[in-house]
Amino acid sequence: MSAIFVLLVALFVLLDRFQQYLRSSEILRAPAHVSSGGLRPSVQPKPSGAGAAHERSALCNSFYGTICKKSGESRDPTGIVRPDIEGEIEALRIYEEIIRQHRDWTSDQVDEELVKVIYTPERRGRIESAFRWVRQTLERLIDRERRSVFTTREKTLLKQRIRGTRLELPPPAALYADEPDIFTKNEVFYERTMDGQRRMRVGGAYLFTSKSWFNVIFTLAHEFGHAIDPCELRSAGLSFPAYDRLTACFLQFGWVPFHKDRSTECGENDQLSEIFADWLAVRVTAEALKTFATEFHATQLVGAAVNAVRDLCEQDDPQLEVDLTNHPAPQFRIESIFGRNPKVREILGCGPAPGSEYCGFEFQPPVLDQAEPFAQSQTRF
């Protein structure tokens, strides 16, 4: 414990600089009413500003450029998204304060108090309601697919995997005993345990970083996507023709690198799982944007779209050591997967994306000569 205390004291000067700002930013718009089995954010529309058309045009022309040029926090009617570092600093500040006030406590006691302060009922409720909303939306999307995409059995299997993915949120702190550093990390992740259980965990810092409903929706939908991504299905011994077509599309248009050996697609340094999770999360986010398209004014809708993927820009920070081995570059994730989605563009009032096709389950790969690999001429941006 003493070593941890010394480390945190060394960070105290840095943390103190952010303390007043972070406290002033703590007010958030809480969910207000029940819909689809979960809570939706309260909405108080305001007249659209004179620059609404310009903002929308700028976003439609360059999603990545518009979203990632922003600095500091970004806001929509449901809340804000702040830089990752600010959430982690706030969580560390709380950790340091608990240790300072209770020098005689054990590490378990400190963790339990930290969990109590960070994972409040209000913050837990925000994540839990979004989790339910995403789960139900995914099931609806699966049910809406035509029989030519998924058979009844395939739909049942996919929905079972989604329903079988549980959300783990403390307290108690012992719930994360195997990964205690999560309390101060800006991480949300899906994992399959050794005994085959599927679970999702949420880092404490994320609760401070993201208060936008749309960002939470995209983030949880991405992690849900891993429960049914091509590699997870392959590990479960499942194979669906629709997934083969979608993977073929990813390969055809250069979304994922081409491997002559199909067995390496889910191996080390492969991005198939992450591309799929982003692709699915964008479909869910489009449903979220559609839900509020008639309630938000243009500027507010643009803000919601920006916040949905705002934190992906963090990967571009040269001061952060981000492993892009398994994740595509932020520019591709934002511009190509999110910004070129036809439904997202339609909801925002953008025209069709020029010169590109968008992948889907019904993609029909071209008939190629046996000696000819998938075309690699398509660029990623």
Flag whether pLDDT at 28 surpasses 90.
Answer: no
Peptide bond into 342 cis (omega under 30): no
Answer with the residue of higher pLDDT: 322 or 363: 363
**What's the pLDDT score for residue 354?**
81
Flag whether pLDDT at 27 surpasses 60.
Answer: no
**What's the pLDDT score for residue 139?**
98
pLDDT digits (tens, 9 = 90+) for 87-125: 999 999 999 999 999 999 999 999 999 999 999 999 999
* Domain extent listing, the chain: 2-43+55-348
What percentage of the chain exceeds 70 in pLDDT? Answer: 77
Residues 6+ apart with CB under 8 A from 301: 289, 292, 293, 347, 348
> What's the CA gap between 220 and 198, in Å, rounded?
14
pLDDT band at 54 (very low <50, low <70, confident <90, very high): confident
> What's the CA gap between 111 and 170, in Å, rounded?
10
Flag whether pLDDT at 267 surpasses 60.
Answer: yes
**What's the pLDDT score for residue 53?**
84
Answer with the residue of higher pLDDT: 175 or 353: 175
Count of CB atoms within 10 A of residue 57's CB? 15
Q: Is the dihedral of CA 141, 252, 276, 282 positive or negative?
A: negative
In the block, residue with structure tokens 């994922």? 256
**What's the pLDDT score for residue 44?**
56
Flag whether pLDDT at 149 surpasses 60.
Answer: yes
Answer with the residue of higher pLDDT: 318 or 131: 131
Are 360 and 149 contacting, i.e. CB atoms less than 8 angstroms apart? no
**What's the pLDDT score for residue 318?**
56
Give the least confident one: 160-174, 211-225, 233-247, 317-331.
Answer: 317-331
pLDDT (mean) for 18-34: 37
Flag whether pLDDT at 371 surpasses 70.
Answer: no
Answer with the residue of higher pLDDT: 319 or 158: 158
**What's the pLDDT score for residue 264?**
56
What percentage of the chain exceeds 90 in pLDDT? Answer: 68
DSSP state of 183: G
Residue 246's alpha-carbon distances to 4, 334, 362, in angstroms, are 48, 19, 7
- The angle subtended at Cα 214 by Cα 209 and Cα 219, nearest 5°, is 65
Structure tokens at 148: 């030519």
Give the least confident one: 46-50, 326-330, 374-378.
Answer: 374-378
pLDDT digits (tens, 9 = 90+) for 302-351: 999 999 999 999 755 555 555 666 788 999 999 999 999 999 999 999 99
**What's the pLDDT score for residue 322?**
57
pLDDT digits (tens, 9 = 90+) for 254-264: 998 776 665 55
Give the least confident one: 79-83, 129-133, 247-251, 319-323.
Answer: 319-323
Mean confidence (pLDDT) of the chain? 84
**What's the pLDDT score for residue 184?**
95
In the block, residue with structure tokens 């997967």? 337
**What's the pLDDT score for residue 229?**
97
